[in-house]
Amino acid sequence: MTRFDGNALAGELVDVLGADPTTARLRCTGCGSLGSLGETRVYRTAMGSVARCHGCDTVLVTVVSDGVRRRVGLPGVRAASIA
């Protein structure tokens, strides 16, 4: 299991969080803090990727891909600001 940061999800989140996902600002449903996707703690496994709030560990974003379709969840994002 390896841990990354939100930079690693840029490719998979294009279209969902704008053309420049690492600059998306996300408000966490857990602690209310606002931060860039680039600052999130990302865990990547063969099951999928999970981006957690660097402050409170709430799961902000999930990405599950079967090679054809990509399923993106935003369970911990109250709202996102995209440029």
Partner 1 sequence: MSTPTSVASTSVASESVASTSVASAETPDTGQEARPSPATPARVHRRPAWHAATVAEVRDESPTARRLVLDVPTWPGNDPGQHLDLRLTAEDGYQATRSYSVASAGDDPRVTLAVDRVDDGEVSPFLVDAIEVGDALEVHGPLGGWFVWRPSSGSTRPVQLIAGGSGIVPLVAMVTAHAEADDPTPFRLLYAVRTPEDVFFRPELDAATAADAPLEVTVVYSRTAPADATVPAGRLTKDALAAAVLPPEDRALVYVCGSTPFVEQVLRWLGELGHDVADVRAERFGGS
Partner 2 sequence: MATFTRGFGGRRRNEDDDRTPPGQTLVRDWPVLSAGATPDIAPADWSFSIQTESGVHEWTWDEVQALGVEDVTVDIHCVTHWSKLDMPWRGVPLDALFAQVETSLDYCMVHSFGGYTTNVPLDELLGGKAWVAFEADGEPLEPEHGGPARLLVPALYFWKSAKWVRGIVMQADDEPGFWENAGYNMHGDPWKEERYW
Binding region for partner 1 (CB under 8 A): 2-8, 10-11, 14, 18-23, 25, 27, 29, 34, 36-39, 44, 67, 74-75, 77-83
Q: Among partner 2, partner 1, none, what binds residue 52 when CB lies within 5 to 8 Å by partner kind?
A: partner 2
Task: Give whichever of 25 and 31 is closer to partner 1, judged by the CB atom.
Answer: 25
* Spatial separation of the C-alpha atoms in residues 52 and 37, rounded to whole Å: 10
**Residue 57 partner contact from partner 1, partner 2, none using kind-dependent CB cut-offs of 5 to 8 Å:** partner 2
Q: 57 with 46: CB under 8 angstroms?
A: no
- The DSSP H or E segment spanning 10 is helix 10-13
Instruction: HSE, CB side, 13 Å, CA atoms: give it for residue 68.
Output: 0
